[in-house]
Structure 1
Amino acid sequence: MLSIEHFYLLLAAFVLYAGWRNLCERRYAHAAFWSVLAVLFAAGKPILDASEAGNALPSQIAGGAVIALALLATRMRREHIAETPEALRLASAERLGHRLFWPALLIPVATVLVVLFGERIAFGGTRLFGEGSITLIGLALACVLATGLAVWITRERPSVALGEGRRLLDTMGWAALLPLVLATLGGVFAASGVGDAVASIVSALIPADSRLACVIAYGLGMVVFTMIMGNAFAAFPVMTAGIGLPLLIQQHGAAPAILGSIGMLTGYCGTLMTPMAANFNLVPAALLELDDPNAVIRTQLPTAIPLLLVNLALMYWLAFP
């Protein structure tokens, strides 16, 4: 039975491999950063189980490890890591052609198939997929399958996939953790009552009985909060708890699924416009060695603003029966 913990252990093994490679290359801050992260991934389930049983010590140790990650991140520097010569890469690309896209396309296809049919697959009365979000399990399995497909298409050794994955991870550095950290931050904000504070402020500033005003406040709030926090996953629980649920869903009768899906997409308009979304906007500029670190954001603005307006209109027209 596959559970999400199996994939966390696999991820921990890969991150630990990145730490070992950095240690061999005497990049000690990188080695320590990835090694500590690997331990946190591997020990996540035991830590949660111990916390539920009333033992706070493992959680406190994990908190200390997170602080250690923050300190180590300040010592990490982007350095050139040797890769396959450009001539060989171009020759490989010409030989493989559009087959290079097959692994990337397999990820969404396999994820959707697991979500749709995964809970029905069983062998001898035992379900193939166990505890955990079926969507997250499907995505993790799809990534593993895509890696295998890439190895088969390119006829390279599996060690090449590990090496290239490690190179990309080190190129991104600590920014690779931003989606995870910011999504967690959004949950912390929502649990600490920030959503209630937002609701009280919005109710005082806008006419709460106006459906249009609430839609605009929710959409623009998603954008602004996303720009501040760098990720729509972090903004979503706060703005939905503060505006979406009490004002649009409960008071004006908006459909939760439609409001949530369009609201999240509206938040991503903010992702296109902020340097806080480092893994989306700053890392590509670094990888492409652009002179202007904000070049990606400037290019995305003409798309982000019209998309925001379209999303607000769709939210107003479609979310209310």
Structure 2
Amino acid sequence: MTADRPVALRTFVDAHKFRGPLPGARLIVLGAVHGNEPCGSIAIERILQELACGELEIIAGQLTLVPVANRLAYERGTRNGDRDLNRNFAPISTPSDNEDFIANELCLLLAEHTVLIDIHSFSWQSSPMVLLGPDSSARDPHPFAFACDEESLAAHLGVSRALYGWLATNMQRAQRRGSSIQYCKGTTDYMRAVGGYGVTLECGQHADPLAPELAYQAIRNALAHLRLIASEAPEPRQEIEFLRVYEVLDRNSTKDRFAREWNSFDRLYLGDAVAYRSDGTVVLSPADGVIVFPNENAEPGTEWFYLAERDPRVRKRRVCSNGK
């Protein structure tokens, strides 16, 4: 009588790990958390090729590359497999859908690292940007100890615009909807919760041929900035526009419509008509600022657009540690 063979558990995430001989930061880079956003995957595959041929060498710390975080969505060419992985990202004790299983594996991976770069793109035309966590000042209701490190990393990624305030804004949305508070949390929020820090890099429109190059250069710059490779880090960008996201509105009906065709970062003034609800109610801008991520194809019950204000403070580049 032969013994039963052990049944291998399915692995949902393909991760490539590289360790240097010296201590240092532990960086993880994710591509295709949303399956129709290929720029991160293309850039990461390019980095993998350079590591394989010896053109690139990790001399300190650890680098983990995940070219395709959401394989099912990637193969379909869709944003999600069964649901949005980046809106309810946390360990699931009883996983039931594609994204549950992925989250369980990615959460273990993230907990092994100190720094995360999650690479994304837009379905609409927009300039590249980096999304940060809470501010480090007492002005923020949930100050973040590594905000300085995030800002320093962001300054080396090659973009000139940074947005923060996402978690607090989406938590307010979840509370209004009576949703689980976990629903608003994504990969970078989880990274901060387990003691590290992370940024979301938005590289432009999905099909923009420049997006993969921006993602690639950002990874190379981050490796140099964190001293994982023996390459001089580029000078940080001195002029970065900081915007604080303070509100998100859902689309309630397919008959809800915008007052005009909006693009991200179009200017708004107090009292401007932003949109009209299906019953004719006008949605007015509550303050001077900009509109962010307007989505005219949003499904009812999902995010329609965000509102942000320009940070009135002058942010000086601060000297930060390079990881933990």
TM-score range, shorter chain: under 0.3
TM-score, length-normalised on structure 2? 0.26
Relative to the length of structure 1, the TM-score reads: 0.27
| Structure with a larger share of its residues in strand | 2
More helix per residue:
1
Bigger relative contact order (CA 8 A; separation at least 6): 2
